Structure 1
């Protein structure tokens, strides 16, 4: 049974829409509330929808930064390679092998970073980080638990929604008619000829 659940991964048998949220924290709060009410939350999924890619520009790319990023990457690669080769070396040769691998990786990384930056031709003179984010979050629940989930989730108190529902304007009622208001307005006397 456990293996079957692992194979299913992120799927539900017959998922049904339970609620939409604009923020992930609100969706998380709703699931937490359902859990507090002893609802079987293992039958719920939070699905991010309306995905968009966000690229945050972190700074300007220069020759110095390109060399620095290349040096850091090369040094890490050299360290990894030096440690692997150092495992098979004599005990006294281990440190010189690791240090020389770091040095070679650093030099190679600087050269490679500068070549890569030169090939951009100035078309991308900035650094950035990219992330895919959702703009809306949907709660899905197994079809057999949909009614229970809606009932329990309706108990989640949201003062802003309750306040606006309590203060919703009603249709204006007509003022009661008084006897004076029911009579037609007085008409002007007919005009006299020659006046």
Structure 2
């Protein structure tokens, strides 16, 4: 039976960082030192969800968003249809874009009306870790710690 590619057999903590870039820098440094980095993994813990509000939703903004997404879908469908027609390719593409825009605006406005003002804003969401731990296979942990001591700006591992 084979294990998951996202698991190490007997992992040991090598270092803990507050940001992913520092953890990545550690593994990159080990790779530069010819360490077998396939025995390493970076684990993000203490997850948090961040939501950045990007604006207020209005009926007009929802309608424009629906039109734009409908136009793109219509363009895609039109291009597919144009592969099977010999005449009026431009007319096929334009008509599918218009139908897509109409369908898109209707669907967007219906969805917005059904929300009844419970979420009158747009946002982007990201899940991030607050801590990143570099783990290494136990059989190579001593070698990794020794190499890591040569990393410029390296701090001693509190787990040693």
With normalisation by structure 1, the TM-score equals: 0.73
* 1:119 equivalent in structure 2: 114
Deviation at 1:82, TM superposition (A): 1.4
* 1:13 equivalent in structure 2: 9
Q: Residue 105 of structure 2 is aligned with which of 106, 110, 115?
A: 110
Q: How is 1:66-81 mapped onto 2 (pairs within 5 angstroms)?
A: 66-81=62-77
Deviates more, 1:78-87 or 1:101-110: 78-87
SS in 2 for 1:102: helix
| Alignment RMSD (CA, Å) | 1.9
Residues 85-141 of structure 1 show CA distances to partners (whole Å, capped at 9, x for unaligned) of 22222x222221111000010011111111111111111110001111111101011
**Structure 1 CA distance for aligned equivalents of residues 118 and 4 of structure 2:** 45
Moved over 4 A (4+): none
* 2:147 equivalent in structure 1: 152
**Total equivalences in the alignment:** 155
* 1:26 equivalent in structure 2: 22
* 1:54 equivalent in structure 2: 50
Q: Residue 95 of structure 1 is aligned with which of 90, 94, 98?
A: 90
Residues 52-98 of structure 1 show CA distances to partners (whole Å, capped at 9, x for unaligned) of 11111101101110001100111111111112222222x22222111
Structure label with greater radius of gyration: 1
Deviates more, 1:59-68 or 1:42-51: 42-51
Q: Residue 79 of structure 2 is aligned with which of 79, 83, 93?
A: 83
Deviation at 1:8, TM superposition (A): 4.4
